[in-house]
């Protein structure tokens, strides 16, 4: 999930029962480079846009 720390932690609190009691919050730093992450998001956006056109 992507979003601000506040947003992610809010989601985490709403889904608390799905996580280990050891986990204190939901937010984590992204792994890898932000460039790679941006490319993945771009690819997903285009994949969804293309599926929408096909239907």
Q: Write the pLDDT tens digit of every residue in 20-47.
A: 999 888 888 777 787 888 888 888 888 8
* C-alpha–C-alpha distance, residues 42 and 26, integer Å: 24
Q: Can you give the residue range of the structural domain that contains 41? A: 5-54
Residue 26's alpha-carbon distances to 1, 29, 47, 49, in angstroms, are: 10, 10, 28, 30
The pTM for the full model equals 0.49
- pLDDT score recorded for residue 17: 93
Average pLDDT over residues 5-20: 90
Total structural domains in the chain? Answer: 1
């Amino acid at each position: 999930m992507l979003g601000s720390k506040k947003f992610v932690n809010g989601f985490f609190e709403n889904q608390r029962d799905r996580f280990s009691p050891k986990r204190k919050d939901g937010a984590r730093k992204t792994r890898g480079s932000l460039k790679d992450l941006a490319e993945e998001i771009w690819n997903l956006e285009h994949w969804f846009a293309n599926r929408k056109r096909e239907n």
